[in-house]
Structure 1
């Protein structure tokens, strides 16, 4: 069976056990031997959220304010942490499984998908914590919360597509992961996490760039709108999320299928 035929979605159905083993291995390797073990997956992001709030909400004291500012930050930060951690881990995923790739025939997409799954588990656990806190303190319990899973699914499609592309590209061009790491730094600061575009600029062009040229921004703002504001994202936001999620997934899968043919040689 060729590697091309193995890459079809229908081929993924018969490899559930391998996928489960890869996910479990990824979970065990992260914090094996630590006292808290897998709880670090939740503790680390919470500590990071606290550190960012202390720096940007207390020490630097921005010239704007939002009620329950820590919750304002957290509802957008959970999205960024998921994107950042997944893209950071995806690059090396194929290289770390080089021995398995040489020995066995299976859909190669399983490997980066396992990485996305592990990071998604952390994201969902953290999102539940943030959701409970935000709804409790903001009083935003309402029917709009039913839309949150839709945003999560579209976000998963977006991240999955990027992870497929990055993993395959890094296996061929070993500079890709360091480049992605470098890009994530400025990307973080231009993502409206600690502010809304209207908080920092009155220029329409600048606000448009912050809101729509950064594909992570609408996802973060959609989660914030649902949890923090208690409102439904606009129709234009839904259209953008669906389009970006679909394009990222299709393009990422196409790049992966094209480059996976040479994985045995490259690894």
Structure 2
């Protein structure tokens, strides 16, 4: 019974599948894809146009491939350093000067007016203490102009020397990252200080004109010599001390002590006649101080002409052959600048790793 039932069920299932096949529509006939057209036969070689190409010389490649670089010395990326390279890259120097000026007066309400306020405050302190309390008003004609001539030179030198000494340490992020002449930082400090000299000269000129001062050729030559000597000395000291300050930060404190002595080592709060009267013939050794010559040259340019008797003052309060001394000190300043550059170049390679 079970076997017969299974056979009948299988028969019904097979019959149902055959009926489904008859009831389903016929499948569409398969259409064969057309055969691809045969590719055209290539043209003979003589049918192609002939294009003449210029011959490429392989000699430079061969030379570059066989060049022997074993004898070429390795140079740092800041090759070509020195003061000459600084002025060849004047665009970088200009950017540093602008950056220094903007950083100095950033967030300041008065801004550039501080270039006038600072020297004027120093002038009034010296004028009151030395002139009024100690009574030098009676011994020195136009004592205020006499002091201010010295302040212009002293402020220019001390600012160049002090800011230049700290310039590399203050800009260590730039010194480490950028391949550039590192002498550029002390030079930029000198140019910023020179920029601040001009407002002081404007004040000095106005004060001298009020006393009837008339500029003359010798005085203008003396002014240029005085500023040039201060510029050379300040840059030389900045180069020397900025490199040394990287290794020993004590040099920045030493500069502050030197700046304090400078104000009393030049004829600013006292006339040169005091030195001449006290030391006599030995007073000529006083002129071996280059900054003293700078102050005397600027006094020749402004102070002497503002006094009631310029010829008499020039004979009694200025040394003879002052311009010759100025030329000699200019040469000494150039020698000191060369020494500062030499020391800086010797220490420059170790500056980044010490910062």
Measured after TM superposition, the shift of residue 69 of structure 1 is 0.9
With normalisation by structure 1, the TM-score equals: 0.90
Contact 1:145–1:226 (CA under 8 A) maintained in structure 2: yes
What is the rounded CA distance, in whole Å, between the counterparts of 1:57 and 1:43 in structure 2? 20
Alignment partner of 1:20 is 2:94: yes
Alignment correspondent of 1:196: 271
Contact 1:222–1:237 (CA under 8 A) maintained in structure 2: no
* Distance change >3 Å, CA 195–CA 106, structure 1 → 2: same
Measured after TM superposition, the shift of residue 170 of structure 1 is 0.9
How many residue pairs get aligned? The number is 266
Moved more, 179-188 or 69-78: 179-188
Q: Which runs of 5+ in 1 are unaligned?
A: none
Structure with the greater relative contact order (CA < 8 A, sep ≥ 6): 1 or 2? 1
The correspondence of residues 56-95 of structure 1 with structure 2, limited to 5 A, is 56-62=130-136, 65-95=139-169
Alignment correspondent of 1:217: 292
What is the rounded CA distance, in whole Å, between the counterparts of 1:143 and 1:63 in structure 2? 29
Higher helix share: 1
Contact 1:135–1:141 (CA under 8 A) maintained in structure 2: no
Contact 1:140–1:229 (CA under 8 A) maintained in structure 2: no
Q: Which runs of 5+ in 2 are unaligned?
A: 1-74, 306-313, 315-319
* Local SS of the residue matching 1:5: coil
What is the rounded CA distance, in whole Å, between the counterparts of 1:74 and 1:244 in structure 2? 25
* Local SS of the residue matching 1:203: helix
Alignment partner of 1:172 is 2:260: no
Moved more, 168-177 or 122-131: 122-131
What is the rounded CA distance, in whole Å, between the counterparts of 1:216 and 1:186 in structure 2? 12
* Distance change >3 Å, CA 114–CA 64, structure 1 → 2: same
Alignment correspondent of 1:239: 327
Measured after TM superposition, the shift of residue 27 of structure 1 is 1.0
Larger Rg: 2
Measured after TM superposition, the shift of residue 205 of structure 1 is 5.9
Measured after TM superposition, the shift of residue 145 of structure 1 is 3.4
Alignment correspondent of 1:186: 261
Alignment partner of 1:42 is 2:116: yes
Cα-Cα RMSD: 2.3
Alignment partner of 1:122 is 2:196: yes
Alignment correspondent of 1:109: 183
Measured after TM superposition, the shift of residue 182 of structure 1 is 1.2
